[in-house]
């Protein structure tokens, strides 16, 4: 019975077979504003899988896992600081996760995803437009997602002050995965 | 009787000297505080002010060089030997070079960290060095080293100015005194 069930599931999910992302080609950058001065950072290690056929976008989905410890900011001080409990608390919450619930075509190569973003144990609904392009054997998803850092309690205590670090952080995602065909 | 006007620096030079002295000493003290503090909102605010002070020093320095070239520079006291005069000129040259090098090294360091310098919260200065964490760390040490040199040179400058005034009694401080000239003590 069990092998049969597994086979059924496999067949049922075949058109949606998730492709693991190409971690080396994928990156998540973010821009924060420190006293109105823009500053760039990034997460270097991202994993997960993406299923997205442009012809059948509604069936698409993505599940991304971001390793918090792979964060990088302009200074070593800042990089170390963001792993502390007041910021990401990387020991207790080593990953952030984005799981899409729906993908809608917006025309051409543009789409909109809705889903849930979990950072530091807090889950919020998020939605953002993105583009899909082919780069050789890879499909690449590019988009930006503004988030409120305070909604996820990233930057607590003295760091909750938005005059020092603005609440809004712009996340830029560039996710590459093997094209299905 | 008033001493001849040519015994003093031109009024704009005197003003620039003291304005920059206040800025430099303040920026230096704030820099030391930044060095000692762990990363905190206060530290970030101090860095912001420190950077603006440094850029202000650069702007005032440019103005000061122009004013100096265009105005009368009083001769050094006649009792100084040619070697002493040469050393005094070298000391002043060192001050000018360091007043340029210290803020530039700070600006370069910020650029290398990938953090833009924004003067007084409005003027976004260009980043003239590509983001490079290793270079940024090296520039941080360069900035500290140059600051140490500047601090030592300023201490020497003040020491000799006081030595001239109180031991040689040549009215040295009068050359840079704020609020017009006063009669010399001798």
A-interface mutation test, from B38, B44, B117, B124, most A Cβ less than 10 A away? B44
pLDDT at A2: 53
Asked whether the beta carbons of residue A74 and residue B114 sit closer than 8 angstroms, the reply is: yes
Tokens describing residue A8: 């059924």
d(CA A177, CA A84): 32
Of B39, B131, B133, the CB nearest to A81: B39
- Say how many CA atoms lie within 13 Å of A171 toward its Cβ: 22
The pLDDT > 90 percentage for chain A reads: 75
Nearest to B96 by CA among B186, B180, B13, B184: B13
Higher-confidence position of B111 and B183: B111
- Domain B7-176 -> CATH class: mainly alpha
Under a CB-based contact definition with an 8 Å cutoff, are residues A157 and A85 in contact?
Answer: no
d(CA A118, CA A99): 9
- Nearest chain B CA: its distance from A67 CA (Å): 21
What would the mean pLDDT of B10-34 be, rounded to a whole number? Answer: 96
Residues of B in contact with A161 (CB under 8 A): 41
Per-domain boundaries in chain B = 7-176
Residues of A in contact with B118 (CB under 8 A): 36-37
The pLDDT > 90 percentage for chain B reads: 73
pLDDT at B3: 47
- Nearest chain A CA: its distance from B103 CA (Å): 19
Asked whether the beta carbons of residue A74 and residue B131 sit closer than 8 angstroms, the reply is: yes
pLDDT at B1: 38
Q: Give me the long-range contacts of A34-40 (CB less than 8 A, separation at least 24).
A: A34/A164, A34/A165, A34/A166, A34/B44, A35/A163, A35/A164, A35/B44, A35/B45, A35/B48, A35/B121, A36/A166, A36/B118, A36/B121, A37/B48, A37/B115, A37/B116, A37/B118, A38/B116, A39/A73, A39/A74, A39/B114, A39/B115, A40/A74, A40/B114
d(CA B78, CA B72): 17
pLDDT at B184: 44
Domains of chain A: 16-178 (2.40.128.110)
Of A40, A81, A159, the CB nearest to B114: A40
Question: Which range has the worst mean pLDDT, A137-141, A169-173, B44-48, B127-131?
Answer: B127-131
Complex confidence, ipTM: 0.75
Q: Kindly report the average pLDDT of chain B as a whole number.
A: 91
Farthest CA pair distance, chain B: 61
Query: What is chain A's Cα-based Rg?
Result: 18
pLDDT at A171: 97
What would the mean pLDDT of B104-110 be, rounded to a whole number? Answer: 97
Residues of B in contact with A158 (CB under 8 A): 40-41
- Residue ranges, chain A, pLDDT below 50: 1, 8-15
DSSP B183: -
Other C-beta atoms closer than 10 Å to the C-beta of B103 total 24
Tokens describing residue A97: 């996760």
Residues of A in contact with B112 (CB under 8 A): none
Nearest to A166 by CA among B67, B94, B41, B10: B41
Tokens describing residue B109: 């360091």
Higher-confidence position of B59 and B180: B59
Question: Which range has the worst mean pLDDT, A79-83, B53-57, B97-101, B131-135?
Answer: B131-135
d(CA B165, CA B159): 10
d(CA B104, CA B87): 25
Of A37, A81, A159, the CB nearest to B115: A37
pLDDT at B7: 82
d(CA B59, CA B48): 17
Under a CB-based contact definition with an 8 Å cutoff, are residues A60 and A41 in contact?
Answer: no
């Amino acid at each position: 019975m069990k092998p049969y069930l597994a086979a059924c599931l496999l067949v049922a999910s075949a058109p949606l077979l998730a492709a693991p992302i190409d971690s080396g080609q994928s990156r998540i950058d973010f821009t924060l504003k420190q006293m109105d001065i823009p500053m760039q950072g990034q997460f270097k290690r991202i994993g997960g899988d993406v299923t997205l056929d442009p012809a059948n976008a509604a069936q698409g989905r993505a599940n991304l896992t971001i390793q918090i410890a792979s964060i990088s900011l302009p200074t070593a001080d800042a990089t170390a600081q963001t792993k502390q409990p007041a910021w990401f608390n990387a020991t207790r919450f080593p990953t952030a996760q984005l799981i899409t619930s729906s993908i809608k075509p917006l025309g051409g190569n543009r789409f909109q995803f809705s889903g849930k973003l979990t950072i530091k144990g807090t889950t919020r609904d998020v939605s953002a437009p993105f583009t899909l392009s082919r780069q050789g054997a890879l499909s690449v998803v590019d988009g930006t997602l503004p988030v409120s850092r305070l909604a996820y309690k990233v930057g607590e205590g003295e760091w909750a002050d938005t005059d020092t670090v603005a609440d809004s952080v712009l996340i830029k995602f560039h996710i590459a995965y093997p094209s299905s065909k | 009787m008033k001493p001849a006007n040519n015994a003093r620096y031109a009024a704009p030079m005197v003003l620039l000297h003291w304005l920059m002295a206040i800025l430099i000493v303040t920026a230096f003290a704030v820099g030391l505080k930044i060095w000692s503090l762990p990363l905190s909102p206060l530290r970030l605010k101090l860095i912001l002010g420190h950077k603006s002070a440094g850029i202000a020093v650069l702007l005032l320095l440019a103005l000061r060089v122009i004013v100096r070239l265009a105005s009368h520079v009083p001769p050094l006291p006649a009792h100084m030997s040619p070697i002493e005069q040469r050393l005094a000129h070298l000391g002043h040259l060192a001050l000018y070079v360091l007043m340029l090098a210290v803020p530039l090294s700070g600006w370069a360091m910020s650029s290398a960290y990938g953090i833009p310098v924004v003067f007084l919260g409005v003027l976004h200065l260009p980043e003239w060095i590509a983001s490079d964490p290793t270079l940024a760390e090296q520039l941080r040490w360069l900035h500290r080293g140059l600051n140490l040199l500047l601090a030592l040179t300023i201490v020497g400058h003040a020491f000799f100015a006081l030595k001239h005034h109180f031991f040689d009694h040549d009215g040295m401080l009068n050359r840079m005194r704020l609020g017009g000239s006063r009669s010399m003590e001798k």
